[in-house]
Structure 1
C-alpha cells in the first residue's frame, strides 16, 4: 500500500516538473497542492500553490519508506524525487549573510500566507537537501548513481550545493520569548484573542475575509509544532516554550491539527494534554464535532488518530539511525499494543506502566532503540523499562529544612501588616516565588499595596530570612541525603538541584554542598515558579538528560505536579503530601538512598527476557 501511494507520486513527477516551470522555476519539480491527475487544482494560490512545503512532505514520505524497508529496487526513484524537490528549493531560496533563506511561501498555517522563512518550510527543505545527499551516496555505494546522473543530470557539485544549503538553513528564532518563530513577521502582528471570538464564528475562514485573518497573529493549525514532530527537534525547553505559545494562538480549524498537538504533547511528556487532544482527534467524526461528517469521514484525521498512539504515546520515530520507540502510558490506561513492519520483520509492541514488552512476530531478528538502549529483538518477549538517567532535587524540605526560617520571616511580615498567619497557611507558600507568596498574604488580609511597597515588603522578608540562614551548617543537611548523592555519583547518575529560591547559592555555601551537584537551577535562572516547566527542563538540559528519564525529588505538591506533566518519575518527601501526588512517597528523607537504589535496580537493569505467551 505504501509503495503504491509513492508510485502515484513518482508517476506524477513530470507533471510536478511542468508545474515548477509554470511558476517560473528553471529546475526541479514542485508538486501541486491539490491534484488528481498531476496538475494544480487549487484556485487560490496564497493558500494553495504557495505551500512549497508540499515538496518536503512528499520527500519525507519517500525517505520514511526507504528507512522502513531498505527496498533497493525503489532507491533510484527515492533519490530522483529527492533531487528534483531539492532542486526546486535551491532555485527558490538564496544565501544571505551565510544562511540559506526561502521567501514568499505559505506554511501549513493557511491563516498566514506568503511569508518569508516559514520555520516549517525551511526545516523541511533542509531535511530534503540533506537526505538527497545521504541517499544519493547510498545509491552510489550500490552502483546506481551513474544511471540516475545520466537520467536527470545530477552531479556531485549539485549535491555539494544541496549540502551547503541544508547545513546553513536559516531557522528563525525569537531570543526574547525563547521560541521558534513561525516566520520572519508572524510575531510582529497583533495577537488575536481567541476567547473574544464568538463560538459561532469558527472556523474563521467561513466568517472573515482572508486578508482580515492574514493580518493577525492566529494559526489555523499546527505549523512550527508540526516541524518539531516531523523534521527537527530543538531542545525540550525551546520546543515546550514554542508549543505553549502556539497553542495559545491556534484555532484547530483544520481536522489535522489536534492530532499533531497530541503527538507533540506526548513527546514533551505532558500526557494529560496529549490525551485531551487525542480525544478531540478521535471525536471529530465519532462526535461529528465539525458538523460535516455527513459529507464524508475525515480520512487523514483517522491516520492522525493512529499516529497519535504509535508516534505520540508510543514515541515511534524512524530515520537514518533506525527505528526508535519511547513509549509512555497515559493515566487510566492499563496498556496498549500495536505492531510494526520494519525491514521485513513484524514486531509486536505492548506498552505498560514500566516501559514496554517487545517481541519479534516474524522475519529476521532486528535491532531497535527503546528509550536510549539498543535492543535486539527475538521470538522471545523482552521487557524494557524506562531507565533512570538523572535525578533532580528540590532544596527546601529535601536537602535541608529552611521552612522554619521562611515561616519565621513571613510571620514577622504578617505581624507587621496585622494579617493572621499560621503554619497551616504557610503550607500554601511551598514551591511558590516570594512575590507570589506576598500576593497570597495580602489577599488573605484584604490589603492592597503599590508595586513599590510590595518590593519593599519582599526585600524585608528576604533580609529576615537571609539573616536566619547564617546559622546553617553542614549538620543541617537532612538525613540520608549525602548517602543518596554518594550512591548516585557511584552509579554515574548526574544530579541537579532545582529550587525557586534566589538564596540557593547562600544555602549551598552554608551547607558546603556546592560541589555535590552537576548543575544548579535557582530563582535567578527562571521567570516562572513551579509547577511551570521552565526550571525542570533547564535542570535536565544542564545535566544532559532527557527530562522523561529523570526523577524529581520534591516535598511540595506544586513541584511534584510540574514534574509529572513532563513524565518525570517522582519521589515525594513528607507525610502531609496527598496520596497519589508522587510515584513514590516517603514520610521523610531517612530512606532516600534505599529508594534511589531500588529505582536504579528496578529500571536500569538489563532488559528482561520472557518466554512468549502463545495463548
Structure 2
C-alpha cells in the first residue's frame, strides 16, 4: 500500500519541498539576500553584478544544507571570502553567519506574510504511514522547523523532529553527511536499513544514500530526476501520493 520494502518500519521526511511548499520560499529568500549583498559588492568594486540563480545556484550550493554551510558554499563558488563570525552575529554583519541571519529574517517575513502550505499528497501519505503503524520523523536543516510544521498543521503527525536546532545542540554535521538522518533513525529506535528517507534536495538524497538506509526516495519538484538518481535516490517520484500505486 505504501510502496515501501517489507523491512521498512519507519519513515524519515525532509521538510522543505517534501512536506511543505517552502522550498520556493527559501529559494526566493536566498536570492533576495545574496542579490542585495552581491549588488553592493559589485558597486563598490565597479564590476558587473551577477545575480544569484534561484534554481541552479540554489540546487547546487544551498538546498538542504545548514544555513551557514549554504552561505559559505555559494560565496566560495563566487570566490568571495568573508569572516566566519558566530551564530550570535546580527543580520547587518558581513560575515557568513551574518548573511545567514539576514536570509532567515527574510524567510520569516515571507512565512508570516504568506503562510505555509503542505503538499496534499504528502499529507495523505504521512497520515497513511501513521495509520499503518510506522514510526515517523522530520529531518530538516531548518531552525524554523517547528514553526513551519505548526503553520502547515502537521505538527502532530511525527514522533521525532531532528532540525537545525537539534543538529547545532548535538554537533551533528549537516547534509550531505548522513548524521541527522542517522540521528532520526536512532531516535525512532530503528537501524538505518529499517527506515526510508524522503528527500527533494541533492544533498539530502546523498545523505540518505551515505547512511545506508533501506530506501531513499527522491522527490522531484523541479525537474531534476536524473540528478536525484545520480546522487543516490533508489526511487524518484513527483509527489508522495505516487507511492500508493508503486510496487
- Give the TM bin, normalised by the shorter chain: 0.7 to 0.9
> 1:567 maps to which residue?
212
Aligned partner (choices 222, 236, 242) of residue 591 of structure 1: 242
In the TM superposition, what are the counterparts of 1:536-551 in structure 2 within 5 Å? Answer: 536-551=181-196
Name structure 2 gaps, 5 residues minimum: 40-49, 86-93
Equivalent residues of 2:205, 2:218 under 8 A apart: yes
Aligned equivalent of 1:443 = 76
> Deviations along 1:59-112, whole A, 9 cap, x unmatched?
xxxxxxxxxxxxxxxxxxxxxxxxxxxxxxxxxxxxxxxxxxxxxxxxxxxxxx
3-state secondary structure, aligned to 1:524: helix
1:222-371 to 2 correspondences below 5 Å: none
After superposition, residues 484-503 of structure 1 pair within 5 angstroms as: 484-503=125-144
Counterpart for residue 408 of structure 1 = 28
Say which SS state the counterpart of residue 161 (structure 2) adopts.
strand
Partner of 1:472: 115
| Count of aligned pairs between the two proteins | 210
| Superposed displacement of residue 587, structure 1 | 2.3
SS of structure 1 residue aligned to 2:108: helix
Query: Which structure is richer in relative contact order (CA contacts within 8 A, separation 6 or more)?
Result: 2
- Cα deviations by residue, 1:339-368 (Å, 9 ceiling, x for unpaired): xxxxxxxxxxxxxxxxxxxxxxxxxxxxxx
Does residue 431 in structure 1 map to residue 51 in structure 2?
no
| Distance across 1 between alignment mates of 2:240 and 2:125 | 10
Q: Kindly indicate whether the alpha-carbon contact (under 8 Å) linking 2:59 and 2:202 is maintained by their aligned counterparts in 1.
A: no
Give the TM-score normalised by structure 2. 0.78
Label 1:504 to 1:427 Cα distance change in 2 as closer, same or farther (>3 A): same
Alignment of 1:393 with 2:13, yes or no, is: yes
Contact 2:26–2:107 (CA under 8 A) maintained in structure 1: yes
Matching residue of 2:43: none
Match of 2:98 in 1: 456
Rounded to whole Å, the distance in 2 between the matches of 1:513 and 1:554 is 17
Partners of 1:485 and 1:436 in 2: how far apart? Answer: 29
Q: 1:386 to 1:404 in 2, by over 3 A?
A: closer
How many angstroms apart in 1 are the aligned matches of 2:22 and 2:236?
21
Instruction: Note if contact 1:487-1:593 (Cα within 8 Å) is conserved in structure 2.
Output: no
Q: CA RMSD in A?
A: 1.8
TM-score (norm 1): 0.33
Q: Write the distance in 1 (CA, Å) between the matches of 2:189 and 2:36.
A: 46
Secondary structure, in 3 states, of the residue corresponding to 1:571?
A: strand
Return the structure number with greater strand share.
1
Post-superposition, which runs of at least 4 consecutive aligned residues in structure 1 deviate over 3 A?
592-595
Displacement of 1:529 in angstroms is: 0.8
SS for the counterpart of 1:425 is helix
**1:533 and 2:174 aligned:** no
In the aligned structure 2, how far is the partner of 1:397 from the partner of 1:508?
Answer: 13
